[in-house]
Structure 1
Amino acid sequence: MQLAAASGLMSLVLFLVALAVVAFLAGGYWMTSRVKYREPPRPRPEEQPHLPPDGAVHEVRENRESQEVPQIPKGGRPLTPYELTNMDTRPSASKDRPRWSKGSSGSFGGGGLGAH
């Protein structure tokens, strides 16, 4: 019964905890305002990007094909992934868009029957 009785000490502890939470939140607000004050100012309207004089840039659609992987001579050492870096692509002569086989979603694990 003694522990369940209202105590002035318990009220003081709860008040101090609430005061600590308020001080913590106020400190966070103060730190945030200091960081924001040190940031560069926002760009003015005249500093915003503008369209080029020719107008908007339009999308270019083209098929690209990759370079061939170098062939290893018989008895030669296999190439490492580091030797195959920067394999560029070039525009394809074909204007046909590549399509997946019929009945396949084209992705691994897509649920289709696959190429049979």
Structure 2
Amino acid sequence: MNTASMQLAAASGLMSLVLFIVAVGLLALLAGGFWMTSRVKSQESPRPRPEEQPKMPPGGPVREVQENRESAEVPRVAKGERPLTPYDLTNMDSKPSASKDRPRWSKGSSGSFGGGGLGAH
């Protein structure tokens, strides 16, 4: 080894100074982040007091309602007219079904394409 490579391999004071400045910069960024967070949190509205919390309805807790729904019929297009596009259809409402039986899949069917079952054979 010659002296030039020995000098390049030696620890440099400049490199230590750069690393120290980078470390101080990172600490300043972290401190600034904590300072900004505390400023934002101090500007938020206070937490609600116990008397401001939501109250239970007079009839007690609201229960889940299970019912079967039927979708509205898709409008028919007269022969020779322009077919309907999705933009022509609005949000189709549904109505309660008169039937109380839950819809079931046919026996031996998984109910979905590629569901892993044998399918209807």
- Both structures adopt the same fold (TM-score exceeding 0.5): yes
**Mapping for residues 7-26 of structure 1, pairs under 5 Å:** 7-26=12-31
Q: Which moves more between the two structures, 15-24 or 4-13?
A: 4-13
* CA–CA separation in structure 2 for the residues paired with 1:101 and 1:30: 63
What 5-or-longer segments of structure 2 have no aligned partner? 1-5
Provide closer, same or farther for how the CA distance between residues 89 and 113 of structure 1 changes in structure 2, counting only shifts above 3 A. same
Q: 1:111 aligns with which of 101, 113, 116?
A: 116
Q: Which amino acid aligns with 1:80?
A: T
Q: 1:68 & 1:115 partners in 2: Cα distance?
A: 28
Where do 1:1-116 residues align within 5 Å? 1-115=6-120
Three-state SS of the structure 2 residue aligned to 1:90 is strand
Offset of residue 101 of structure 1: 1.5
Point out where structure 1 has 5 or more consecutive residues left out of the alignment: none
Deviations along 1:54-110, whole A, 9 cap, x unmatched?
100111111001011111111122112122112100000111100112222222331
Distance in 2 between the 1:4 and 1:85 partners? 75
CA RMSD of aligned residues (A): 1.5
Identity of aligned residues (%): 79
* Higher alpha-carbon Rg: 2
Q: TM-score, normalised on structure 1? A: 0.89
| Cα distance between partner residues in 2 of 1:63 and 1:112 | 26
